[in-house]
């Protein structure tokens, strides 16, 4: 079964607006990470939030984690056309998982200039 | 410090041929993960290796797929007798430690097309 599922599947906004993407997961985790993937390219790590953290910021990014609801959100403030990409959440179960990640299906974000 | 290198970037094979995908981790990293991304989907874990050891291959198909990470040289993902369903993007990631709470650094991927 799919561990991480992003919502919405696609999001289209205007430059300057905020973009919010959500991720739900099923099993317990040690941390949750967000990645960005530009079309046809590799993944870029954005932010890692540990299971004992509730919120984390990095520049224009804000990530929240609610382990009781098994969900996370990624907020991009004051979006730019360059933010257009696919965004994936990935969970790390910890323990003997050796750091392997379980990815969601992703949210395709389009920011119109 | 060069990032994770993967080659080739694009690979075209006919059904029944072999595909070899190479991954050079970042300098100082001895832990490599391989993931597969099918069209319009997220990445799926395949295998985790340390130098000369396969640690977790729970995501690897039982047949036709193999992986290695020799003492010297890149990690290799090998697909024998490829079929059209193997067409996907294959990403490797490296990490300084194979433990939780460590960022993984991804390569640009190899896009395999099976004709």
The yes-or-no verdict on residue B1 having pLDDT over 60 is: no
Which chain B residue lies closest to A108 (C-alpha atoms)? Answer: B40
Contact A3, A101 (CB under 8 A): no
Q: Which of A99, A103, A106 sits opposite B102 (nearest CB)?
A: A99
Q: What is the 3-state secondary structure (H, E, C) of A4-68?
A: EEEECCEEEEECCCCEEEEEECCCCCCEEEEEEECCCCCEEEEEEEECCCCEEEECCEEEEEECC
| Bridge partners for B24 per DSSP | B5
Query: In terms of pLDDT, which residue wins out, A7 or B88?
Result: B88
A39: confidence class by pLDDT, cuts 50, 70, 90: confident
Q: How close does chain A come to B81, measured CA to CA in Å?
A: 25
C-alpha dihedral (A4, A94, A33, B77), degrees to nearest 10: -80
Q: Which of A42, A94, A95 sits opposite B109 (nearest CB)?
A: A42
In tens, the pLDDT along B52-110 reads 899 999 999 999 999 999 999 999 999 999 999 999 999 999 988 766 667 889 999 99
pLDDT of residue A37: 92
The yes-or-no verdict on residue A1 having pLDDT over 60 is: no
pLDDT of residue B96: 84
In tens, the pLDDT along A79-97 reads 999 999 999 999 988 777 7
Q: Is A107 on the interface with B (CB under 8 A)?
A: no
Of A2, A50, A54, residue with least CA distance to A24: A2
Of A52, A51, A53, A59, residue with least CA distance to A75: A59
pLDDT of residue B40: 75
In tens, the pLDDT along B42-65 reads 899 999 999 889 999 999 999 999
Query: In terms of pLDDT, which residue wins out, A1 or A90?
Result: A90
Which chain A residue lies closest to B96 (C-alpha atoms)? Answer: A99
For residue B31, give the 3-state DSSP assignment: strand
A98 to B43: CB separation less than 8 angstroms, yes or no: no
Q: Is A52 on the interface with B (CB under 8 A)?
A: no
The yes-or-no verdict on residue B26 having pLDDT over 80 is: yes
B44 to A101: CB separation less than 8 angstroms, yes or no: no
pLDDT of residue B103: 81
The yes-or-no verdict on residue A2 having pLDDT over 70 is: no
CB burial of residue A74 (10 Å; 0-12, 13-18, 19+): buried
Structure tokens at B12: 């075209």
pLDDT of residue A86: 93
Query: In terms of pLDDT, which residue wins out, B65 or A106?
Result: B65
The yes-or-no verdict on residue A75 having pLDDT over 70 is: yes
């Amino acid at each position: 079964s799919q561990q991480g599922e992003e919502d919405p599947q696609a999001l289209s906004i205007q430059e300057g607006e905020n973009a919010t993407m959500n991720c739900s997961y099923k099993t317990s985790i040690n941390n949750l990470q967000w990645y960005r993937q530009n079309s046809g390219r590799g993944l870029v790590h954005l932010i890692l939030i540990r299971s004992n953290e509730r919120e984390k910021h990095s520049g224009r990014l804000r990530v929240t984690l609610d382990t009781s609801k098994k969900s996370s959100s990624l907020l991009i403030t004051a979006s730019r056309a360059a933010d257009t990409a696919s965004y994936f959440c990935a969970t790390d179960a910890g323990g003997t998982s050796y750091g392997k990640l379980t990815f969601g299906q992703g949210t395709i974000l389009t920011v119109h200039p | 410090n060069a990032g994770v290198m993967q080659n080739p970037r694009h690979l075209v094979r006919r059904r029944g041929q072999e595909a070899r995908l190479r991954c050079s981790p970042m300098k100082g990293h001895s832990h490599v993960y391989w993931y597969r991304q099918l069209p319009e989907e997220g990445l799926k874990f395949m295998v985790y290796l340390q130098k000369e050891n396969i640690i977790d291959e729970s995501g690897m198909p039982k047949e036709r797929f193999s992986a290695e990470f020799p003492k010297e040289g890149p990690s290799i993902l090998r697909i024998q007798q490829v079929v059209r369903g193997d067409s996907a993007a294959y990403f490797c990631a490296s990490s300084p430690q194979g433990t939780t709470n460590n960022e993984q650094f991804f390569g640009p991927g190899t896009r395999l097309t099976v004709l």
